[in-house]
Amino acid sequence: MIDSPSVSYTGLSPVLFVLGAALVGVLVEAFVPRAYRWGVQLGVALAGTLGALISVILIAGRNELTLSRAVAVDGPALFIEGTLALLGVLSLLLLAERSPDMGGSAFVAQAAVPVGTVRDRQLATQTYSQTEVFPLATFALAGMMIFAASNNLLVMFVALEVLSLPLYLMAGLARRRRLLSQEAALKYFLLGAFTSAFFLYGLALLYGYAGTVDLRGIFDQAAGSEKSDALFVIGLAFLVVGLLFKAGVAPFHAWTPDVYQGAPTSVTAFMASCTKVAAFGAIIRVLYVGFGNNDWTWRPVLYGVAIVTLVVGSVLALTQTDVKRMLAYSSIAHAGFILTGTIANSPAGLSSTLFYLLTYGLTTVGAFAVVMLVRDADGEAGHLSQWAGLAKRSPLVAAVFSLFLLALAGIPLTSGFTGKFVVFRAGLEAGAAPLVVIALVASAIAAFFYLRVIVLMYFSEPAADGPTVAVPGLLTTISLAIATAATVLLGVAPGAVLDLADRAALFVG
């Protein structure tokens, strides 16, 4: 007979809040009358994520392994869960935004209706909309939280699927430009399924090597073992491929620009910020907890991967003409910056990664929120040429977007600079000076395409038939205000949050 494992409900409370919100959301979708659904769904989802955020704050400092050592409740897990809950709140506010689009929602009511049919045209003109995006988002968020907290590769795999499946669906929900959105969803699904298989195969090989899927167990088995390293190394390689794919790291980045461009922008904001946070949370846990004593197997590889990612992200971003694709390539470059800290395999590496994820996530949500606002008759004005002279039409939106761009470029007094500083410091302390120099050159290259947008907005004359800037609704305004404040605050006075990341930088077990 198998004893039921002990469950620390307190330690799991952040996850339980979000998961609970997701389940309630399904029931709401089924039983609440359509007229009230939007409000109730938003309320439930926000209650879940805010509840998670508050419970993270209340249980900060806990250190335990629960559910038979399957899930960790420790500094990094709670920091990531808190970050995800915060970014989740901001993203949900964007997902719920209805005012910019005359259709009443950025999401198609019946995603299964083929594009170009009579029904499709009817849908485009109706104000009728669905709200299933809320439970989908909260399910994904719960999956992300477990993903970054699992101390057991099998649980991590389940979490990976829980977070991925809703995202595949959400990517295909765009109300406008539906073909692009459906293509994005399919591409994301196919490549995602492929890498899930990689992850699973790596897991199997590691189980063959260590006889356990527990990260600490693998760590202990690998210490002073006489066994051949073949299974160990190949297994780790497959595992890492699966993780790097989710994090959008080159050479596994190919899906990023297409999916970011095709998905509804609010979903892109959610994916770009939360998925990246969760994926790096998982990467750093696997590498540090499971393979920290064998960093000769992964450090040189990630060193190279980081360089490729930095170069690919910053150079390809130069050639982009669509603002969402540009931000997608920028997110690839940022993955490279994060890796610069991650490869340090030290407490500084861990705390810098955590801090960077928070700053990057907040700025990214803000940047995509601005993209949602700049619209013309066909929906969002994605092409950069349409952004010319934006500062004349709406100085405030242009100023806020410039702030986010400067933060992404890493100009001092913005959060992006503090983040870059900590990861570069961790990298240098670990003796990765060449990588840091390459990362600095990449930031200089990246600065060019961020600046180009500022040049367009401020120094160019507006196009005659340029886009209008929608007045942000209350929800977007709240989201933007929080992201803006955080971007400035974490640049000017990052002390408290840096301390928090430092104190959180200890894995349990």
Partner 1 sequence: MSTLLLVTLLLPLVGGGVVAALPTGRQALAKQLTLGISLVVLVLTLVLAVRFDPGGERFQYTSSYSWIESFGVSFALGVDGIAVVLIALIGVLVPIVVAASWNEEPPGKRSMQVFFAWLLVLETMMIGVFAATDIFLFYVFFEVMLVPMYFLIGSFGGPRRQYAAVKFFLYSLFGGLIMLASVIGLYVVSNNQLGQGTFAFADLLALEIDSTTQRWLFLGFFIAFAIKAPLVPFHTWLPDAGAEAPIGGSVLLVGVLDKVGTFGFLRYCLPLFPDASKFFAPLALVLSVVGIIYGALLAMGQSDMKRLVAYTSIAHFGFIGLGVFAFTSQAGTGAVLYMVNHGISTGALFLIVGILIDRGGSRLIGDYGGLAKIAPVLGGAFLIAALSSLALPGTNSFVSEFLVLLGSYTTQPVFAIIGTAGVILAALYILLMYQRTMHGPPNPRLAKVRDLDKRELAVLGPLIALIIVLGVYPKPILDIITPAVEATMSDLGVTDPVPTVADAEATRD
Residues that bind partner 1 (CB under 8 A): 406, 409, 411-413, 417-418, 421, 424-425, 428-429, 433, 436-437, 440-441, 443-444, 447-448, 451-452, 455, 458-461, 493-495, 498-499, 502
Report the alpha-carbon distance of residue 261 to residue 345 in Å, rounded: 34
Least distance to partner 1, CB of residue 464, Å: 15
CB of 68 to partner 1, least distance (A): 36
Smaller CB separation from partner 1, 72 or 406: 406
Least Å from the CB of residue 121 to partner 1: 43
The Cα diameter of the chain in Å comes to 75
Residue 437 corresponds to which tokens in the numbers above? 């120099």
- Neighbour tally for 448: CB within 10 Å: 12
- Least distance to partner 1, CB of residue 393, Å: 13
Is the CB of 406 or the CB of 475 nearer to partner 1? 406
**Secondary structure percentages of the chain, helix, strand, coil, to 5:** 75, 5, 20
Quick one: 212 or 460, whose CB is closer to partner 1?
460
Residue 462, preceding peptide bond in cis (omega within 30° of 0): no
Minimum CB separation of residue 113 from partner 1 in Å reads 45
Shortest distance (Å) from residue 241 CB to partner 1: 31
Cα–Cα distances in angstroms (integers) from residue 173 to residues 46, 112, 119, 372, 454, in the given order: 21, 9, 16, 15, 31
Do 333 and 314 form a contact (C-beta atoms < 8 A)? yes
Task: Name the E strands within 184-338.
Answer: none
Give strand ranges (E) for 13-172: 64-66, 71-73
Q: How far is the CB of 442 from partner 1 (least distance, A)?
A: 9
Residue 470 zone, left/alpha/beta (φ > 0; ψ -120 to 50; rest): beta
Least distance CB 248 / partner 1 (angstroms): 23
Collapse the DSSP code of 379 into the 3-class scheme (helix H, G, I; strand E, B; otherwise coil) and give the result. strand
Instruction: Give me the long-range contacts of 469-473 (CB less than 8 A, separation at least 24).
Output: 469/373, 469/374, 469/375, 469/390, 469/393, 469/394, 469/397, 470/99, 470/100, 470/372, 470/373, 470/374, 470/375, 471/99, 472/99, 472/100, 472/369, 472/373, 472/397, 473/97, 473/98, 473/99, 473/100
Which has the closest alpha carbon to 373: 429, 323, 416, 445?
Answer: 323
Going by their DSSP bridges, the two strands 468-469 and 374-376 should be labelled as antiparallel
**39 contacts: CB under 8 Å, gap ≥ 6:** none
Shortest Cβ distance from residue 403 to partner 1 (Å)?
Answer: 11
Task: Work out how close the CB of 439 gets to partner 1 at its nearest, in angstroms, rounded to a whole number.
Answer: 9
Compare residues 251 and 495 and give the one whose CB is closer to partner 1: 495
